[in-house]
A and B are shown apart, each in its own frame.
Chain A
Amino acid sequence: MKTKIIKVIGFVIVLIILLLITSHIFVPKSNTEEAGMHDYEANGILAEKERTIDLLILGDSEAFTSIIPMQLWNDYGFTSYVCCSTAQTIPESMIFLIKALQKQQPKMIILEASNIYTASERDEHIVQVLNYMFPVVEYHDRWKYLKSNDWFGEINYDVVNDLKGYHFTKDVKEALPNNKMAPTEETQPIPIANKIYIKLLKKYCEMNDIKFSIIRTPTTFSWDYKSYNGVKQFADAEKIEYLDLNLMNDQLKIDWKQDSKDGGDHLNHYGAVKNTKFIGEFVKNKNLLTDHRKEEKYSGWNKSYEEYKRLVK
């Protein structure tokens, strides 16, 4: 019996060692799309200098199209990064946060509320943990494209994303008016797993002395007053600050005729500028973040801003 237990333990140890070795082979050696990095814009956070990001944004596509870190830099000198990916689930947000905190020590984290109602795939929770612990699971399909550098090369994440995770587009598609934000008593229930994850996110932030807020960016599509009620109730119960910008359009002044790229689901650059301006003021009033514009350490941000300006011109 003892020998069999030793065999089982030995087998597991060898398995873990092999998983780590193969993970090193399969993980992209650079943080670029060409190198095979998934969500390379969001993973651009890995190329940022240590302890330089003060504000981190988590969420899905609604967040990466509506918050412009370079505008926050230019207007307030805040360093921020949009760690958001298409259809990002809350468990994914959690993993992005853990990855980001390995090098960064942000003072504030904003969770964009869109993915709070996204039910995770049945395996999502385990998959995310495995992807994080053993990247061979996430990048296994790279067997098709492995090069000699993958077998013996060093991992080097140094390609800076000048837009800091923001996805820029000037496409315009008018959104038709609707009555989704008309007040109601009804409440949209949040999936239990997501509630647990948000509580974990909050706890994780508290442990790391980070301010945690939830913000819903403007949309006319996948959001209504019932959704607002659901998040509001949960946020109040958990003492999390929650801001729904769909109820504040008198201040934001989003023009749905020209500020959306796809008929109301996502903002375009024009809408994102207005949205970022509002979020900038909101963050500024917290007095948590500092203006780094004149600091030498952040000179790269000025270069990125030039690149951003050239792009959005």
Chain B
Amino acid sequence: MSLGAREVGSARFSAGQAVRVKDSKPEQVARLHLRTPHYARGRIGRVERVLGTFPNPEDIAFNRPAEPRVLYHVLFDQPPVWGEGQQGDTLLIELFEHWLEEA
């Protein structure tokens, strides 16, 4: 990709690796701007691809100096997320590294 591909070396996770989205709701204790959907929190997925490095939107939203963060495309099985749906269907979500942990 045009942006970020050169920084892939600094990524903590690699394609194919299982990751868990942190199950936290920091927006309940402070006013925040987050790009991690609620339905994905606590879910286990697999890194599809490292997308590059981008300034942290959680800082940009408040006009603070934004640290670069690694962004991943993470694939999840869809039925476990909602307790319904068709086997084999999936969700592909862009998630920042600081929201992910090893699963």
Report if A and B associate in a common complex.
Answer: no
